[in-house]
Amino acid sequence: MNSLKMRFVPATEYYEQLLVRIPKAKKRIVIHAMVVLWQPPQTEKVLELLFDALERGVEVRLVGDMYSKFQANMPHFVRGTKSPKWGYTIGHNSNLQSKGAHITYVGKLGFNPYKQRCHSKATIIDDVVYTFGGVNFSEDSFTFHDYMIECESTAFAGRVYSLVRDIEKFPRIADVAEKIDAHNTLLFDGGTPGSSVIYDAACDAIANAKKVYYVSQMSPSGRLAKLISQVDNECYFTRPSQADPPTSLSILVDSTRFGITNRYKGKIYIHAKFILCEGKDGSKWVISGSNNFSWRGIAYGTKEIALLSSDEKMWQTFYDYLQKEIIHES
């Protein structure tokens, strides 16, 4: 089995890579995230490049979640900046569609706006994929502590493209656990309430760990939080004072309930989501993706994507990122 070449790309570099790769695209451009909003000036620079790509005959496909509308119109008291109204994004999308772009926002907003959301992220430009991270497609998303993993492979790009097309139809997809190569596995939560292959994999890794490093927007909760509290751990997540409600309340309640100590002292909002495990047998495991490792999202039935990796070089890359960007934030 051939190894898939992967590269860790911080959020700011991910945005810069979009500006470089989109003008060179010959086949397809797929942008999939929970939040897909047009905001000047950053995302509108990408918008201009998408119009140029459509003129060249390139397939352009945007797949977001209807939570984008909620995000655009909700008050922002602490986190980030106020987004332009939803109508602003709809207007630009209509112009893209008139030129041949395929645009879908999946799911419905109900009394509980967090129920049955699609929280996965993946960008495909020809045969290059950016996924296994948490970056949304909105202005402030590129400034958070976050990243994507760049993977260049015709086969893998085809697999992720197929997955995004399934997401477009918004059925309840079966959970996925597929080997990518000898050290890496693609995990996907299909949106069945109470079911998560990602959360289960994290629990299995932690149960066999002697040391755990936890990074997320949210405090761990449920069985995973109980397992973390039983081993040597370092947890870093957004402080309640850095988040808007109801996220701030969720962080406070979960960290208090499960006795999780938050070591994060930085000023930048954490949107990254990964767990590093040092196994009792000397093994090292990374779990990274869109899942916040909070049981609440799983109970609601949320679609998520993640990488499970036993590659020690990948583990070290994440550890270095933790030390430099989160613990010793410059």
Q: Give the pLDDT confidence of 218-275 residue by residue, as tens digits.
A: 999 999 999 999 999 999 999 999 998 889 999 999 999 999 999 999 999 999 999 9
Number of Cα atoms under 13 Å in the Cβ half of residue 98? 6
- The sign one gets for the Cα dihedral 36, 180, 272, 202 is positive
CA atoms of 265 and 183, how far apart (whole Å): 33
CA atoms of 35 and 12, how far apart (whole Å): 17
Residues above pLDDT 70, as percent of the chain: 96
Q: Give the pLDDT confidence of 286-316 residue by residue, as tens digits.
A: 999 999 999 988 999 999 999 999 999 999 9
Q: What is the DSSP string of 237-303?
A: E--GGGS-TTHHHHHHHHHHHTTPPB----SSPB---EEEEEETTS-EEEEEES----HHHHHH--E
Q: Is it the case that residue 104 has pLDDT exceeding 90? A: yes
Answer yes or no: are the C-beta atoms of 7 and 149 closer than 8 Å: yes
What SS3 state is found at 167? helix
What is the token pair recorded at 157? Answer: 């790009």
The amino acid at residue 213 is Y
List, in order of start, the domains of the chain with CATH numbers: 6-169 (3.30.870.10), 176-327 (3.30.870.10)
Determine if the pTM surpasses 0.85.
yes
